[in-house]
Structures are given as C-alpha cells and as structure tokens.
C-alpha cells in the first residue's frame, strides 16, 4: 500500500489502514441497520428483514416526496394535545421518543391510511428536523414470516450492545407486548416501533400509542395524481372522494381506469363493484365468500378440517366447501382485499369490509350466522 502511493506529492501525510473482513464485519455490527443490506449484496439475505428503504411502496423508491398536510392526523391520547397533532408535529414527537433507547411506540390506524409510509418518513432527512439515522433502522413485516423473528433480532442487538431502531409492521398485540418487555430492559440499546391496523384491550405497559387518522381528500387526490399521471383530474377527484381519505382504496380504484374509461358519473355502488372486481369479470361466488369472511374480525385461513377449523364455519354460511373458500380467499389476497399475518386472514381495508359485512347481514339468514359464528365456538372470532 505504501508503494502504491509513494509517488503522490503528499505520500508522507497519508495514513494507511488495511481493513480485512474481520474489521469490516465489526464495523457493520456497529451499524445494525446495514446488516440486511450487506446480506442482500453477498447473496445471503435475511428473510423478511430490510434496511432503510421504500417499505411502503417499493416501485417509488425513497426519493419520492412525502406528502404533508396541516390537518390533525396524529392522535396521541395526551390531554395536552387536544384533538391531535398535524403530521409533521406527530413525526417530530415520534422521532424524539425513538431517538432514546428503551422506548417503545405503537402506531395504529385503519388499513390503508399510510402508517408504513409515515414510519419510513421518520428516517427521511428532507422531512422536518432531526430525522432518525437510517443506518439504525431494521424493518420487517410479519406477513413475510421473518427469520430471525423480531424477539430474536432484538435479543441479538442487545447481546451485541448495538444501537438499533426496530420496526415491526403488522405486529400482533401479543408480539408487541413481548417486544416491549425485551426492549425496556435496563441498559437496553434498542428502541422499537410496531405498526398495526387496530389495538385491542388496554394500552400496553410502557408504550406510547399514536393513532394515525385518514388523510384529507385533497391529499389523497395529490397522491393519485402522482401515482397515475395520465388519470384525468375529475377521475382522481372521484377516487379520492370515494375513498374517504383511505389511500389504499383510492389507489386500487384508480388502477381500474383504462385509457378510454372514466369514473365520472358512477354511483357509489358502481364504484364499489369496480373496486372489488378490479378489471375481472363479475364473480358472484367470490363476492359471497368476501361477504362471509367480512363478518368476522379475522379468521384462521389455512386449516380446512377439524374441531377448531374456522374456514368450514365461514364456508357453511354460503353453502360452499372449505377448499373452495380457501381458493376464494387466495384470490382476494391477490386483489389486495384480504391481508395475511401468518395463518390469520382479515378482509381489509375496513371501508370495504364494512360494506361487504352489511350486505352479508342482508343476504345470509341470521339463524345461520348464529349457528356458525356465535354458538359453540372454539374461540372468540
């Protein structure tokens, strides 16, 4: 190395260091957010784990502007915050908490309101001040069945005395509670933020809970125009108005518009049909399956037989076989109308599920609903 720079004018002023693989590995361990990136580059990815990146929508990348608005979208539960905080103020509050080790955050809100995108914004230096260091971020979505599991990842960070900010998307309450217990150990170097579309029972101990409300129709319209630049202004506005501030619904509806089509003049019922069908032919069986599944908060979606199996109960509501309902749920997953977490399934977003459930209550006799979903259940749906 000295011979290679010997002819440079300032060769005597240069400090030479050799970084072998041990020193490189030691450096990476000091920046845990880069570990998934390194694993990807060497062809040995960590299943389900990602460094900082476009977690919410990969095709956009991280360079796309985060859309802000001044409406009170972030509710904290603190009396001093009144009806909530504007998005930027909410981001600043969450950043201040996660900047400190041992802190645990729970971000909740309806499916499709932009929770994952807001978490991504916490590490974006272009948004507000004092962004979190993206080199500390470790992200996973529980729908991807990560390996190691979040408890194992946090435990590894603690064992290595490494500073990290762990993000767990679609995180069930029980997992959040266990993560909170591990993260808040004395001397912890880790802070955690979990994301979920709902929260049950009481507030988890040691957790700051933030509730993200739907966007304004104006912000959703801006998002639609950016995502679909060829869509007419009136169609973008129609999709935004129908969505009720839910970006996922607006995007799915806008994606159904062909080059010579328009949403203008369509009634809500027609817009819903378009959203549900998504350029497919009408399928009465699929619609019935969605209606039955929407009657429950969530359901076990893989077991076809047995005393505790739930698919047979739901299938019986529409006189279908469990295997047929399984296929229908798989199609709804592909249409992004059902979400999966492990073996569990749920019809989402809620705006779609509520409309489907209302139709199910009209079309399915209550005696059948009572027999299958109320009497003699092995567990609470």
Over the chain (381 residues), the average pLDDT of each successive run of 10 is 91 90 85 88 90 87 83 83 88 96 92 90 94 95 92 93 94 91 93 83 77 89 91 91 86 87 86 84 91 92 90 94 95 87 84 90 93 73 48
- Is CATH 1.10.287 the right assignment for the domain spanning 45-212? no
Residue 376 is predicted with a pLDDT of 65
**DSSP secondary structure, 281-344, as one string:** PP-HHHHHHHHHHHTSS-EE-S--SSTT-SHHHHHHHTT--HHHHHHHHHHHHHTTSEEEETTE
CATH class of 288-374: mainly alpha
Residue 129 is predicted with a pLDDT of 93
- Rounded CA-CA distance 269/258 in Å is 19
Per residue in 285-316, pLDDT (tens digit) is 999 999 999 999 889 999 999 888 999 999 99
How many other β-carbons are positioned within 10 Å of the β-carbon of residue 283? 14
- CA 355 to mean position of chain CA atoms: 22
As a whole number of Å, the end-to-end CA separation of the chain is: 67
* Domain extents in the chain: 45-212, 217-277, 288-374
Per residue in 183-238, pLDDT (tens digit) is 999 999 999 999 998 655 556 778 899 999 988 889 999 999 999 999 999 999 99
267 and 242 in contact (C-beta within 8 Å)? no
Residue 363 is predicted with a pLDDT of 93
Residue 289 is predicted with a pLDDT of 95
Helices (H), the chain: 21-29, 35-41, 87-98, 115-121, 150-159, 173-183, 217-227, 233-243, 247-254, 268-277, 284-294, 311-317, 322-334, 350-363, 366-369
Q: Can you state the percent helix, strand and coil of the chain, rounding each to 5?
A: 45, 10, 45
Statement: the pTM of the whole predicted model exceeds 0.85: no
236 and 254 in contact (C-beta within 8 Å)? yes
- Rounded CA-CA distance 91/76 in Å is 11
- Rounded CA-CA distance 357/290 in Å is 8
Do 45-212 and 288-374 have matching folds?
no
């Amino acid at each position: 190395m000295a011979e290679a720079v010997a002819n440079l004018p300032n060769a005597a002023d240069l400090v030479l260091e050799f970084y072998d693989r041990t020193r490189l590995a030691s450096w990476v361990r000091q920046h845990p957010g880069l570990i998934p990136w390194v694993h990807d580059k060497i062809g040995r990815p960590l299943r389900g784990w990602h460094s900082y990146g476009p977690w919410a929508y990969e095709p956009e990348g991280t360079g796309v502007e985060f859309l802000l608005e001044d409406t009170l979208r972030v509710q904290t539960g603190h009396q001093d915050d009144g009806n909530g905080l504007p998005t930027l103020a909410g981001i600043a509050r969450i950043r201040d908490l996660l900047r400190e080790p041992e802190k645990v955050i729970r971000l909740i809100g309806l499916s499709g309101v932009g929770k994952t995108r807001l978490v991504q914004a916490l590490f974006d230096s272009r948004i507000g001040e004092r962004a979190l260091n993206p080199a500390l971020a470790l992200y996973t979505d529980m729908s991807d069945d990560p390996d190691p599991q979040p408890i194992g990842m946090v435990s590894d960070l603690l064992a290595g005395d490494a500073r990290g900010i762990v993000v767990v998307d679609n995180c069930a309450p029980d997992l959040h509670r266990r993560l909170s217990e591990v993260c808040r150990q004395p001397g912890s170097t880790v802070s955690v933020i979990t994301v979920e579309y709902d929260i049950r029972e009481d507030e988890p101990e040691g957790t700051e809970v933030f509730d993200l409300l739907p966007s304004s129709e104006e912000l959703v319209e801006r998002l639609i125009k950016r995502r679909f630049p060829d869509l007419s202004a009136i169609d973008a506005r129609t999709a935004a108005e129908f969505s009720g501030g839910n970006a996922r619904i607006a995007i799915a509806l806008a994606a159904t518009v062909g080059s010579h089509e328009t949403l203008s003049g369509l009634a809500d019922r027609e817009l819903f049909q378009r959203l549900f069908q998504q350029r497919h032919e009408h399928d009465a069986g699929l619609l019935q399956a969605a209606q039955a599944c929407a009657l429950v908060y969530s359901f076990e979606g893989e077991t076809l037989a047995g005393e505790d199996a739930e698919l047979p109960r739901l299938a019986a509501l529409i006189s279908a076989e469990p295997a047929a309902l399984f296929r229908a749920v798989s199609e709804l997953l592909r249409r992004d109308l059902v979400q999966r977490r492990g073996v569990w399934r749920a019809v989402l977003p809620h705006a779609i599920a509520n409309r489907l459930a209302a139709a199910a209550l009209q079309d399915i006799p209550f005696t059948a609903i009572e027999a299958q979903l109320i009497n003699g259940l092995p567990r609470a749906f």
